[in-house]
Amino acid sequence: MRAQTLPPAAGWRWIFTGFAIFRRNPIVLGMLVLTYWFTVVFLNVLPFIGALAASLVIPGLSVGLMQAARQVERGQAIGVQTLFGSMKENARTLLALGALYLCCTLGVLGMSTLLDGGDMFKFMMADTRAERAAVEDADFIAPALFVMAMMTPVMMAYWFAPVLAAWHRLTLGRALFFSFVACWMNWRAFLVYGLGMMLVAGVVPGVLLGILLLIFPDAASFITAVVTMPLVLVIAPTIFASFYACYRDIFGISEIV
């Protein structure tokens, strides 16, 4: 397993490549992303085991979306079976990755209680609006920065781990190790990628929505729905396709869009 070190500009290229893949089959890719979200939301609403079940299946589902992007790039057909079929690839390791990520997240959130007495943890774990309202006035800046700092290495280790486990049959430890090293070697490209994603998925849609709301203030709900849904159906599949482009470039896969 060998990762390449790419220039910072590669971060922008991943976004453009993701959009190029999306344009080849926008309807089915959008449908798969919605299916992914609905599956995760459905599992989360299940009592007692919902959050655990969702965490366990997310690695496999994420591999399914990357598999869909790969097949679209190769000109192959995709469908719902593409999303769920990848969960069979090295299933034990994928399930372990989901469980480990959940434990790490809960552990980091638990440690953040030392800074704010558990207010942010309560807010994020709240099931009702009343529970969130009870702590929404708390100062989350310090614990949020702490969580961000602690979760960054976790995200680096997890970023490529599912696809490395599924497609390269790596063990849990090796998948996490090679993912972390690949991200560390390309931190400049990932920084540009993150800034680009903020611009494409946050700033530009926000500015567009703000301008329309200023022009048509009496139709706020309608405009928000009209603008948000198409953006979600375009941006979300593009983001997932860019994950595949990122993997493909760093690990030297020779397919070109």
Q: Is the pLDDT of residue 214 over 90?
A: no
**Rounded mean pLDDT of 27-48?**
91
Confidence bin at 134 (pLDDT 50/70/90) = low
Between 160 and 227, the more confident residue is 160
Of the listed ranges 88-97, 120-129, 142-151, 213-222, the least confidently predicted one is 120-129
Residue 47's contacts (CB-CB under 8 Å, 6 or more residues apart) are none
Dump pLDDT digits (tens) for 59-97: 999 999 999 999 999 999 999 999 998 888 889 999 999
Between 86 and 126, the more confident residue is 86
Cα(218)–Cα(144) distance, rounded to whole angstroms? 35
pTM for this predicted structure: 0.86
**Mean pLDDT, the chain, as a whole number?**
87
pLDDT for 255: 47
Distance of CA 160 to the CA centre of its chain: 11
pLDDT for 146: 86
pLDDT for 256: 41
pLDDT for 257: 39
Three-class SS of the chain: CCCCCCCCCHHHHHHHHHHHHHHHCHHHHHHHHHHHHHHHHHHHHCCCCHHHHHHHHHHHHHHHHHHHHHHHHCCCCCCHHHHHHHHHCCHHHHHHHHHHHHHHHHHHHHHHHHHHCCHHHHHHHCCCHHHHHCCCCCCCHHHHHHHHHHHHHHHHHHHCHHHHHHHCCCCHHHHHHHHHHHHHHCHHHHHHHHHHHHHHHHHHHHHHHHHHHHHCHHHHHHHHHHHHHHHHHHHHHHHHHHHHHHHHHHCCCCCCC
Of the listed ranges 66-70, 239-243, 252-256, the least confidently predicted one is 252-256
pLDDT for 209: 79
Q: Is the pLDDT of residue 228 over 80?
A: no
pLDDT for 237: 93
pLDDT for 58: 95
Domain boundary assignment for the chain: 10-250
The position carrying tokens 């590669």 is 10
Confidence bin at 165 (pLDDT 50/70/90) = very high
Nearest by Cα to 228 from 217, 215, 212: 212
AA identity, residue 87: M
